[in-house]
Structure 1
Amino acid sequence: MLATYATHPEHTRGRLFDESESAFREPFQRDRDRIIHSSAFRRLKHKTQVFVEHEGDYFRTRLTHSIEVAQVARTIAGALGLNQHLTEAVALAHDLGHTPFGHTGEDRLDELMKPHGGFDHNAQALKIVTSLEHHYAKWDGLNLTWEALEGIAKHNGPVVGELPFALAEYNARHDLELSTHAGAEAQVAALADDIAYNNHDLHDGLRAGLFTMEEIAELPIVGEMIRKVDGKYPGLDAGRRRHEALRRVFGVMVEDVLVTSKRLIQEANPASVEEVRALDHAVIRFSDHLWTDLKVIRKFLFSRMYRAPSVVEMRKRVTKVLEELFAHMLANPSDLPDGWQQALKGADETAIARHVADYIAGMTDRFALQEHKRLGLKG
């Protein structure tokens, strides 16, 4: 049973290209399944969060992160009476637009693309599911429902001001109402993303030896959970101690979102998903107190993990790889694969640059390094 403020499948605004719906799957289930079967989703296996793909088998990739986000999102959506299928679809798609080499790659590609409209991974995810996937006979993209596309475009909130080129281009032909909040399902996906990366970055940083359990015991939430584990399981081995503490941190974040969101929904009392969109604030949120604690944790991770000397050194190396790949492909578009060259006939510099950015953004860490070596670039 879905809540009145949930997104009900029978009231979907439909798809850009008309097609008959399944007799045994609701529209948002089909959205989820199409995302899972897409090429871009499979490539997430070899795209990393913080560490480069070859640095270790235990570190999170974009694929494992997306699966974790989807699991958290389904749990929260179910507890709030929301549509779990739509929530999962948005959660699984939220990182499709990321470049190789994590945020390092995105930041550099955005700088390189400034003369040509910039680069934004959320806009790129929308472009992937609406045009860059080429599998269906009747259309480009996955032909997802309006609600799934809305969630991908604005799960982090309304998109205002100057729009990323890819987002503006699609919105001109299929209005996603970017100035409003998304439905509660997409808002859940956004908070599930925060929960997942706050937890697994602590886990990956510990495994990489960038900091110790004793150091994170000084952090809010984390320290309390470590003390609870030590009190209940004295003498527990290091691996189990770490896992027990961090899974409790996970639980604290999920519980806080549920309690806070239930209160906000009750106060707003929306009678439909349209009323959720019309609100001037999100209804899925952390409490102010927990958000303050999470900012302390993020500050610690920024200094001790994202700016750790070993990570910074690798960032420099992969930034150079991406820069040289972009410069080479822009100057030599004939080195693009045959299928990518066909769209370049009569294209100007900006069109070529956007095409090259699409190609590079779709690369995995491994493939980017292989292409860089194959082309004989300096590095």
Structure 2
Amino acid sequence: MTGPAGEVQAAPGLALYACSDATSRGREHVEPPPSDRTGYQRDRDRIIHSTAFRRLEYKTQVFLNHEGDLFRTRLTHSLEVAQIARSIARALRLNEDLTEALALAHDLGHTPFGHAGQDALGECMRRHAPQGGGFEHNLQSLRVVTTLEERYAAFNGLNLSFETREGVLKHCSRRNAQQLGEVGARFLHGGQPSLEAQITNLADAIAYNNHDIDDGLRAGLIDLEELQTVPFFAGHLDAVQRAYPAVQGRRRVAETIRRMISALIKDLVGETSRRIAQAGVDSPDAVRAAPPLAAFSAPVQEQLQQLQQLLLHRLYRHPDVLRNTTKAQRLLTELFEAYHADPRLLPRPYQREDAARQPRAIADYLAGMTDRYAIREHQRLFSMRDWPVY
């Protein structure tokens, strides 16, 4: 939207530093603008209808999908991130539609079996394609929305707005950034993504730290005594016990986690507002040129790091979790090696005549698998249980 002198104005209800259709850098492939929704709403809708989004239902967050119906998956995690991120965006007068699109897209490229799968594919790519850029799940998410999705006749991928593609890419090596054009420029020349992307990254941390506590307690891998060594958790648990002395069990845990999420959101909004005012940003480009603006306050960041350290040592490195991690890494590595040794085992769309391009195609195929499909595919290739016994 432009003012009387042609200068860019904020869209109704949005801050000057928020992204809007009027300030968007557009799409790779020119399309007529939507008539009944904003460009970022179109992005969100395309993400929700993508094949990669549906697969998130059967991809591991921490606990394997078959271990229990109530544990988070990549899909439920993404929905929780979207809810938290939209709350933050609304408080800061940012673009909620762009924020939601980023939250729903941020894990589209994640492998089966969580970070264990990512580590296994990364090692396979380093071994078989040392110049091929390795494997990183948010770079794979960008690859999904720009190349791998096949839903439109006119282009590969989803043809999302620049701001959505920019925000999906949280980390990127210099070598990979050099191949990404404008989307990778900030990793070469410095700078930040939009504020919508910055708050979504932190909403991701709020979501996984708190729901991993919930899932870890439900699985019996951590207990309240351990968690009470972290002041942030202990303080909120004490407040719940004082306010509701008769409440026990799941309800007490749920109330504690609810309060922790609320406290983190409130702190993030307050600290980010302070930094925005201090920086005096008045446009999305000014946000990109400023230091990071979305942040927790120093005391809360320290408490959050204490919580993350406890989860790292007591939950993510719990023997039961590590056993499944080892199995998952071995499974994906064996699949990769089998496909690399004989690409004819792959579906035809993933077979490459150029051997140098084959490892990336294998990584694309494996990263797109759900947990249960990867397990089934491994059984097809390596199990002899279905063979007749003579």
TM bin, normalised by shorter chain, reads over 0.9
Q: Which residue of 2 aligns with 1:210?
A: 221
Aligned counterpart, 1:125: 141
Contact 1:77-1:188 within 8 A present in 2 as well: yes
Are 1:316 and 2:326 an aligned pair?
yes
Range 66-75 or range 115-124, more displaced: 115-124
Among 286, 289, 305, the residue aligned to 1:278: 289
Partner of 1:289: 299
Retained in 1: the 8 A contact 2:166–2:183? no
The alignment status of 1:257 with 2:273, answered yes or no, reads no
Segments of structure 2 that go 5 or more residues without pairing to the other structure are 1-12, 385-390
Q: Once the 2 structures are TM-superposed, how far is the Cα of residue 153 of structure 1 from its aligned partner?
A: 1.4
Kept in 1, the 8 Å contact 2:109–2:139? The answer is yes
1:298 corresponding residue in structure 2: 308
- Which stretch of structure 1 is more off in the superposition, 6-15 or 211-220? 211-220
CA displacement at 1:168 relative to structure 2: 4.3
1:142 and 1:275, CA in 2 relative to 1: closer, same or farther beyond 3 A? Answer: same
Whichever of the two has the greater Rg, that structure is 2
Query: Tell me, what secondary structure is at the counterpart of 1:291?
Result: helix
Moved runs in structure 1, 4+ residues, more than 3 A?
172-179
CA contact (8 A) 2:199 2:294 kept: yes
Give how far 1:377 is off. 5.4
Contact 1:150/1:176 (8 A) holds in 2: no
Q: CA deviation at 1:162?
A: 2.8
Q: For 2:218 and 2:332, how far apart are their aligned partners in 1?
A: 27
- The one of 188, 199, 203 equivalent to 1:192 is 203
The alignment's TM-score, normalised by the length of structure 2, stands at 0.91
Q: Tell me, which stretches of 5 or more residues in structure 1 are unaligned? A: none
Match of 1:50 in 2: 62
Residue 144 of structure 2 corresponds to residue 138 of structure 1: no
Matching residue of 1:232: 243
Shift of 1:339: 2.7
Q: Distance in 2 between matches of 1:206 and 1:365?
A: 23
1:62 aligns with 2:68: no
The correspondence of residues 102-113 of structure 1 with structure 2, limited to 5 A, is 102-113=114-125
- Length-normalised TM-score, structure 1: 0.94
- Written as runs of structure 1 = structure 2, the 5 A alignment for 1:4-153 is 4-114=16-126, 115=130, 116-153=132-169
1:306-354 C-alpha deviation (Å, 9 max, x unpaired):
110111111111111011000011111111113323xx13x12x31001
Q: Percent same amino acid at aligned positions? A: 46
Q: 1:204 aligns to what SS in structure 2? A: helix
TM-superposed deviation, 1:175 = 5.8
Q: 258-267 or 228-237, which moves further after superposition?
A: 228-237
RMSD: 1.5
CA displacement 1:141-179 (0-9 Å, x = unmatched): 00001111111113x6xx5x5334xx543x148665443
Equivalent residues of 1:149, 1:176 under 8 A apart: no
Whether the 8 Å contact between 1:95 and 1:122 is mirrored in structure 2 is: yes
SS in structure 1 of the partner of residue 369 of structure 2: coil
Corresponding residue for residue 4 of structure 2: none
Aligned residue identity for 1:323? T
Following TM superposition, by how much is the alpha carbon of 1:80 offset from its aligned partner in structure 2, in angstroms? 0.2
